[in-house]
A and B are shown apart, each in its own frame.
Chain A
Amino acid sequence: MKLSPSRWRDTVVGILIPIGAVAGALLAGVLILVLAGVNPVKAYGPLLIGPFANLYGIAQTITKATPLLLVGLGICIGFRGGVINIGGEGQIVAGALFTTWVGLQLRSLPGIVLIPLLLLTGFIGGALWGAVPGILKARLNASEILSTIMMNLIAAQGVSFLLRGPMIDPAEIAYGTGFPQSEALTEWAWLPRVIPRTTVHLGAIIALVMAVLVYVFLWRTTIGYRVRAVGYSKDASRYAGINVARYAVLAMLLSGGLAGLAGAVEVMGIHHRLLDGVSAGYGFTGIVAGLFGKLHPIGVIPASFLFGALLVGADKMQRAVGVSPGIVYALQGLVVLFVVSSDLWVRRRSARRVEGGGEELVND
């Protein structure tokens, strides 16, 4: 469908403003680095250039961007469906858990069957984890912000327990090291590398494919139409005959599922087993990537790339100048703060333009 002139302008503005905001945030970050006793120039080098300097840097960026993209796509569906899903962390973990467990049961299946099956399992795990808060919201009007956060804790602690008990790698027990990780999955379950001699695995392609599917789902199907309608206006949707509760649950299901898929992809592509911290903050950073990308797959792809780069660059920066890793989060936080504020500012300005006149004349 063609974009009208007003939408074009909004889109261009929508891209320039976040870029400007990121620049602003990095500028502000200079202050933090100086306070930390770090030479900003020496620090920003690895931070800004590192992730793109060579094939290795780019590969690392892509690898980190992959789960961010998947979670971000889930956020697109969730938020556009009117559900604020903060449960990415738990859903990733649930997906990783399901994938690992099923993978360990089905050791002898060939890769061509096993890989799609395990990916689906991860999706289902995340979807179930997201469905619980979804149903609670639909039936009891329970805040999904609270319930998804609580589910995060349950998942993290649950997996922590499993990794130290029932699911611990027998090898760890045999060697007496007791490291909390599961047994490794068979090589059939590993996602093949797509760029040789790098960590970039099939998950990156899968994530891009999912981006296309999410776009088609939300904008080209009747179900996606309903999800978006419910997200914008429950009243109008109800009147139009849409079952609001059902679509809120569906939005949570799909949102969780995509995060679960991210967990599966991390297990199958990177770690090849279940570990503590498999979610590594992607559940939260993915939300930021989703919002940054204006809740549209076209935007989430570069947004997740950006945040992947930030993670990689921060790592390189830490190695180069030895700052504490906390600085990474501080910079990330600054980026979020600047982008969100700029977005709010833009919205306020356009709202004032549209509603120029009086809404006061409705009453007497």
Chain B
Amino acid sequence: MATARPGIITSLEMCGIVKRFPGVLANDGVDFDVRAGEVHALLGENGAGKSTLMKILYGLYQPDAGEILLNGRPLNIASPAQAIRLGIGMIHQHFMLIPPLTVAENVIIGLPSSRRIFVDTDRAARRISELADAYGLQVDPRAFVWQLAVGEQQRVEIIKALYRGADLLILDEPTAVLTPQEVDELFATLRQMKQNGHALIFITHKLHEVMAISDRVTVLRDGRVVGRVATQDTDEAALARMMVGRDVIRTWEKPAITPGQVLLSVEDLEAQSDKGTPALKRVSLEVREGEIVGIAGVSGNGQRELAEAITGLRPVTGGRVIIADRDVTNCSPAEVLAAGLSFIPEGRMTMGVIKEFSVWENAILETHAQPPLARGMFLDFKRIADHTRRLIGDYEVKTPSQETPVKNLSGGNIQKLILARELSRAPKVLVAAQPTRGVDVGATEYIHRRLIEQRSQGTATLLISEDLDEIMALSDRIAVMYEGQIMGVVRGDEASPEQLGLLMAGVRS
């Protein structure tokens, strides 16, 4: 089995790549190229098309149009196995390692052995050590993966790619899970690889990384290339402008409202992510009666954890959450709901509804045990049917019947049902996370209209969304989250996309 072969790939070009998914044009005629001995950054927000483009390069998807040229020769990359054979390796954002196995076992997994049916971990260990030395990557081949820190695990992923003869390496948001020190170590490794003649593609949405490590940067927006520059010829502000620049901003007719008292207050909130790293680092904000506060930011910067910490679904390790003068920090979801909060969760199908349940069963998810929908222990079906009919009528939920299992409804209608259910409880505070993600245009517009109506009725709304258009159209104030912190709060009518883009990418003004 080969080891790293730098220099095999002198150039790789992707020309006019088009990739369509149902309802979405992920790549719209994208050109991209990378040369040996350079780090080329691929920059863009969520949904810009970066991952799709790279998955095409790695053989996971086939483009609908366009071609790929390796060293000038056009070819078709039909599968990751073929990509690997050609010398293309990918370091995924979510590691593909097997924790109970050792480093050496993970590196050689799936590869033919020199000893026929017997695994040859000794030979592998020696090769791994050679590679590690050549690239300055500290790794113990005999360690178990579950024992390794995240940064070390990433090193194993890199060695895995190099061991299989990777010359061109694609790194998908590699620093998302690393500590600052680990990021420095990674960059040192990448510089070494660059020197050794490898070609590196670095996918990110963080501007300071682009400036720190790349030689060239290509900016994608809405599936199209909006700019390609040499890093030394640009700066963060220019990149931010390219990343989020908008031509037209749709605004909603928002009646002028003076916000009332503070209904939701988050003070110095701290919480951990699922991986045990800090997800919220002393986050503070307030939402007032009759106000929509938008949380902008690239997904993965703590927004989900913020929503969960407020609603009692995630333990809070520091700070407080106060709803209408009641301290609800670390209360159960039932108590937080009782305090006057309604929540539209990000995971529509996993947390927002029970997809096997019918429309009426979902309509009463939080209220099933309360009169008038229940009489003592028994469900009052007539009242429930009336309630459900009202909800699906008022909120224009299209469904064949109340008995239809919710999983048969379209995403937009499911979201409207969730909205109906949550808003019908007349909440004081509404937390809406990604309320229109994956929802058709008609339903999106409807949901926006309803959110503004709620605002007029005095609800304090916290709107968390990756869709900057949505945030800018609806919010009275916009707070930008980056790496678990609020980078800044701007007034909705004064915010510019460039300003927000900078904040979203980690640059404090």
Are chains A and B native binding partners rather than an unrelated pairing?
yes
Residues of A within 8 A of B (CB): 1-7, 220-223, 225-226, 228-229, 232-233, 235-242, 354, 357-358, 360-364
Q: Kindly state whether residue B21 has any CB partner on chain A within 8 Å.
A: yes
Q: Kindly state whether residue B449 has any CB partner on chain A within 8 Å.
A: no
Kindly provide the distance from the CB of A45 to the nearest chain B CB, expressed in whole angstroms: 43
From B51, B374, B408, A364 is in contact (CB under 8 Å) with B51
Chain A hits for B374, CB < 8 A: 222
Which 5 A-B residue pairings sit nearest by Cβ, starting from the closest? A241-B334, A364-B51, A357-B22, A361-B21, A4-B403
Chain B hits for A242, CB < 8 A: 334
Query: In the complex, what distance in Å separates the CA atom of A349 from the CA atom of B379?
Result: 34
Docked-complex contact A236 and B365, CB < 8 angstroms? yes
Interface residues of B in 239-290 (CB under 8 A from A): none
Chain B: CB-nearest residue to A363: B51
Chain B hits for A233, CB < 8 A: 350-351, 354-356
Docked-complex contact B403 and A220, CB < 8 angstroms? no
Query: In the complex, what distance in Å separates the CA atom of A364 from the CA atom of B172?
Result: 11
Docked-complex contact B404 and A4, CB < 8 angstroms? yes
Chain B hits for A6, CB < 8 A: 400, 404, 408
Chain A hits for B379, CB < 8 A: 220-222, 225
How many chain B residues touch A (CB < 8 A): the figure is 47
Docked-complex contact A354 and B408, CB < 8 angstroms? yes
Chain A: CB-nearest residue to B49: A364
Query: In the complex, what distance in Å separates the CA atom of A80 from the CA atom of B26?
Result: 40
Docked-complex contact B438 and A364, CB < 8 angstroms? no
Query: In the complex, what distance in Å separates the CA atom of A364 from the CA atom of B27?
Result: 10
Docked-complex contact B351 and A239, CB < 8 angstroms? yes
Kindly provide the distance from the CB of A40 to the nearest chain B CB, expressed in whole angstroms: 41
Docked-complex contact A225 and B51, CB < 8 angstroms? no
A2 and B403 in contact (CB under 8 A), knowing A235-B350, A361-B438?
A: yes
Docked-complex contact A239 and B333, CB < 8 angstroms? yes
13 contacts between A and B (CB under 8 A): A4-B403, A4-B404, A5-B400, A220-B378, A225-B368, A226-B369, A233-B350, A233-B354, A239-B311, A239-B351, A361-B24, A364-B48, A364-B49
Interface residues of B in 277-317 (CB under 8 A from A): 311, 313
Docked-complex contact B356 and A232, CB < 8 angstroms? yes
Chain A hits for B357, CB < 8 A: 228-229, 232
Chain B: CB-nearest residue to A10: B405
Kindly provide the distance from the CB of A107 to the nearest chain B CB, expressed in whole angstroms: 37
Docked-complex contact B377 and A221, CB < 8 angstroms? yes
Docked-complex contact B401 and A4, CB < 8 angstroms? yes
Chain A hits for B350, CB < 8 A: 233, 235-236
Chain A hits for B46, CB < 8 A: 364
Query: In the complex, what distance in Å separates the CA atom of A1 from the CA atom of B379?
Result: 12
Q: Kindly state whether residue B366 has any CB partner on chain A within 8 Å.
A: yes
Docked-complex contact B22 and A361, CB < 8 angstroms? yes
Query: In the complex, what distance in Å separates the CA atom of A124 from the CA atom of B350?
Result: 35
Query: In the complex, what distance in Å separates the CA atom of A222 from the CA atom of B370?
Result: 9
Q: Kindly state whether residue B16 has any CB partner on chain A within 8 Å.
A: no
